[in-house]
């Protein structure tokens, strides 16, 4: 499973998503969008021009701020 989390260190939802995946032993790549134009452009493109974080891409499919319950369902 290939997981990329696009977020920022000041974002509580991003921190919760990372902590959840860490607690489950799930590996992921964390990409900070602050001062990263390529990452910011990708997030905005996925979210109709909005900079919504966390935006998570799992095996090529994007999820916009799915929350812990959403992550549980996605990972099942």
CATH number of the 3-75 domain: 3.40.30.10
Chain Cα centroid distance, residue 22 = 13
The model's pTM: 0.93
What pLDDT, in 10s, does the model give residues 1-33?
899 999 999 999 999 999 999 999 999 999 999
The pLDDT value recorded for residue 76 is 85
Coil, helix or strand for 42?
A: helix
How far apart (Å, rounded) are the C-alpha atoms in residues 41 and 10?
Answer: 19
- Per domain, the residue ranges of the chain are 3-75
Query: Percent of the chain at pLDDT above 90?
Result: 96
- How many of the other CB atoms lie within 10 Å of CB of 4? 17
């Amino acid at each position: 499973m290939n997981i990329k989390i696009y977020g920022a260190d000041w974002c509580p939802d991003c921190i919760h998503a990372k902590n959840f995946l860490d607690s489950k032993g799930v590996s992921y790549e964390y990409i900070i969008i602050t001062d990263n134009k390529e990452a910011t452009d990708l997030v905005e493109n996925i979210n109709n021009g909005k900079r919504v974080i966390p935006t998570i891409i799992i095996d090529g499919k994007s999820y916009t701020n799915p929350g812990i319950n959403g992550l549980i369902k996605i990972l099942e």
